[in-house]
Structure formats: structure tokens, C-alpha cells
Structure 1
């Protein structure tokens, strides 16, 4: 285990080629992730938020090498995953796991719980015989609050919340260091969502897990995250400690997202900021700032220049020219586009 952040992402791009014509030639590329950089400290939770189609899930999968990257680097515990062969990568797989969004589609309907949860031990050769495998599966069910007699059942015999508990159990079976949770509660009833979130928080505390938590629900993200990264059209437009982001968002897109979050007290409702139009296509992103066609505060400069992430102090950074003046007082120079070098040094420690 090395010192420093557990996960380091530098200039990561994931472009999917678009083919057309009789010969199937490449006519363009969908820029799902377009130059993203950030670090994740050990034991912290980085929340990743944004509209549907902004590239959150693709980014989550690229972190684990489940989709190939076009450019950039992903370093896990000091090792560059983007430069490793599948054979060299396999020993690290047990330390990096994914919780999928849909618990109904991510469990094999023909397998029993015993086999679903026991399979990781078989693949990595960690169970010394059927007895130890059985004990490990039983311990996972105990941790998830599920009865041990569930071992002989199949996924269709469980509710949505119970299935997601099984997905989480499978992800933590090998005691990983990093878990990417890709919208783990969006397919669940509201009454079950809090239970799953509390379970994830408890597991992090007990096992020292590091999370990249992808979600739409900004209230949930605020509750679980140490820091929050806001994505728009494949890029991070704001990155900050959770409390700072919710207290004073700097990017107009972040401000609009937070203005749409319901406030339980009608006497303290915040003004609603409406964003016109739809997100541009990642196949043909606009020049300059990608948000400028929808931004109510766009300037002429925004139409031609892409703003870097300006450091604002306290680990806060925003990719907006409106933050440039404040950045001059907080740091000597802006960060590289999509980068967070220097910002993380100011970030509070996790926990």
C-alpha cells in the first residue's frame, strides 16, 4: 500500500466512435468523458452528480477498467490501471468493486444466493473448502441483515431492497478498498433508500471503504459524501467539500441543480433557477464553455474559451469565468482544464 490518495484520475477521456455509411467508417465520437481529473483519499466518499447523460456512469466504469479509456490515467494505490494488461489487472480486481444501479438485472436469476455470494471466493481462490465458503456467505448475510436461510433462495424471491443488499454483499465479499456505487438507490422505493444508504455508511465505518457514489438525488449525496464533483457533458464543472458546495455553489449549473432540491420547510424555500433547453449532444459539444448555450450568465468569452477549474480555497474549485476574480485572491493561478492539482492539498481530511 502506497502513501497518498487511493485513486488518482488525470485527464481521463472516454470517447465512443460513431460509424456510418456502407463501409462503417468512423464519422465522429461521443465524448462521454472528456478530460476529467480528481483524487479520492482513502476512506472518503466522493459524490458524483449531474443530469442523465452527463457521463457519470461511464466515468465510474472507466475507473474500474470496465470500459476502455481513450486518453488519460487512472492510478489505483499508485498503479496505473490504464497501462496494465488484463492479466496484470486481475489481482487488483478484488480490491475494486462496483454496485450496479439495477438490482433486478445484476443478479443471475438461475443462481442461488449461496452461489452468487460464494462465486467471488471461488474465482480468487480465497475459500479453503466448502465449509469456509459457507461461513463467509453466512457472515455476509449477517452483515446485510438478511437471514441465513436465504442462502438457498434465488433472486426472484427477494424484494428490490433485499436484492440490492445482495448486490452490496457481493461487492464487499472480498473486502475491497474501493467501491463504485452507480446510483445504488435510484431503482428502489423511497422508503427503502434510506436503509440502503445507512447500510453503506455503516459498512464504510466498519471496513474502511472508499466510495465513489454516483447519484441523482442531491439530498442523498449531501448526506453521504465527503466531497462532491458536479459533471456536465463529460467534464467536472465544480468540485468541493460537501458542506461548502451546498452552502455556496459557484458554478451556475450547480446553482440550478441545488435550487431544484425540495426544502422541507416552506418558510425557507430557495429561489428556483430555471435552465432553458436541453444538454447538448456529446457527439457535437459546443465550443467554449459547454454550458454557455443554457447559462443565464454567459458572456461572450464563454462562447470561445473553455474555463479551467479555478481554485477558490478550502478545496473548492469551479470551471467558470465568474469565479476567476475570487480565484485570484485564493490561489496564484488556475488549474489545468479538468484538473484539481493543488486544490486537494487544501481539502479537509475525510471523516
Structure 2
């Protein structure tokens, strides 16, 4: 079976099972192919190591990754065209002591959603739109891996572009959804295009809104803050388990509470939950007076009572609604 055909068959089976990721794991003398569906890992099949090496080389080539540095972590975007459709996946390759570990995060361009379509509780859509209407400041979208942060980010982009007529520039790693009428930059650390460098260049490009794929290091955190302070609306994602954890994560990256209070205009933490035949986002949202009260509590050194519904309280309400 040709390598492309084999890869397409794996991806299409994962899509049938509504998997979010495909993992290739070394097990004994073979590679185990597993699908992630929510919190479960479903074994699919085992393939030979030689076939895995062929698949890996093919994926690297298609995703424009290097074939010559097997000890180097790599990430990129796989675009795989067939006669019927085009498959997209985010590629992550990590070197281990014995082999190169591969994970594919499946991207479904047909599942792009608007701010009205994402929330489990529809009233949250109006709050998200109010955030998008802010003229300047930092909006943070947080949650664990697989919680829908990217989908929410692109819904913000769509609303800002279609309804508010904003000039938007993004810097992403990788660019997952090609968008008309906006400028999208791709992180490429091998040529020095990091988040940090990219944000500096974006500030010269006269955008209304800057989208940063993820704040994950000290330099990016400080550049995001600088952009927010210079009159831009900045939207970015952060890995954190709740709103307070989002603030703690940025403090770990060297930002003070005072700086965050001046820059942040809204924080959204989210999880995905099944509602009928589709997945919806449950949000912990801190915005407006709630955000002011949260920072007041932080300055006083106590967080015994939070001025908004926590993500656990929102999930509890979802289960009782069901």
C-alpha cells in the first residue's frame, strides 16, 4: 500500500471515531497507532517500525520539516490532499532515547464556529462580543490542551473581521486556518522568526488587533504586554486550568500583578462538553467589574471568594441542566 494511502486511511478512521489526535507509540518491536477521543486513548493498529519510518519521512516532507536532524523537536502543519477532500493536521515530533515520537492533531476546517455557536450557555456569546469590542488591552483564552482554545480564537477573528471591520495580524505556530483579508505570520525558529521577534515586527504593520497563538515564554509575555500598552487589542492563549491560574502563569513569566491589572481586559477559561450531537464550550469568564474585583482580591492577598462562577461551578450547572 502506498505511504500516502496508508496515512489517509489512518486519518479517516480517526475522523470516523471523532478523535482529536493520532499517537504513534513504540511498543515492543512495533509501533502502536492510538486515537485520542476525549480522555480515552483507543488502540487502532500496530505497524512495523520500517513502515513508521516511511510514514514519518513522508509527513516531515509534506509539512516542510527537516529530514536531517532526528534529535531535534519539530512542529508544523500537514496538508494532505485526496480526490475527495483535503486533510489538515498539526504535527508534533519529539526525539526520545529510542525513536522519534509523532503526534498528529487533526484539524477540521468544516468545524469552524462563530462566537454564537461555541458556548454551551448562549448568554456567554454576548460577553465574548463585548470583549471583542474593546479598543485595546489583553484578552487571554486559557484551558488545558484540547479544550477548544484555537476554535474560540478563530471565532474572535471572524467576529472582529466580519462585524467590527478590524485590521488583524496573527502570529501562529502553525497557521492552522488560512483566513482571507488578514495577515498571518508563521513562527519559524530555524530562521529566527519567534513569537517575540514576530510581535515586534507586527507593531510596525499598523494593526488594530494582534493575535498571538500562545504565550509560552518570558519574551512573548513581555511583548504581548507592550502591544497591549501601545493601544492594540491583543488576543492570545495560555495553558492554565482556570482564570486565577492564568494570572499565576503570567506572573511565573515575570509579569507583575500591577502590569497585568493595567493590561488585561478579559480572561476566558474553557472546557468542552457534549451537548446533544456536538461539543460546546463551557466558560469561566472574568470581565468588567468582575475583573476589577479579582485584582482587588489579589492585591489584598486573598481569593477565598471569587467574583464570578468558576469553571467547576459552570460544569456542575451543565450536568444539572442535562
Where on the TM-score scale, by shorter chain, does this alignment land: which range?
0.3 to 0.5
Please give the TM-score of this superposition, normalised by the length of structure 1: 0.30
Q: TM-score, normalised by structure 2?
A: 0.32
Higher relative contact order (CA 8 A, sep 6+): 1
- Whose strand proportion is higher, 1 or 2? 2
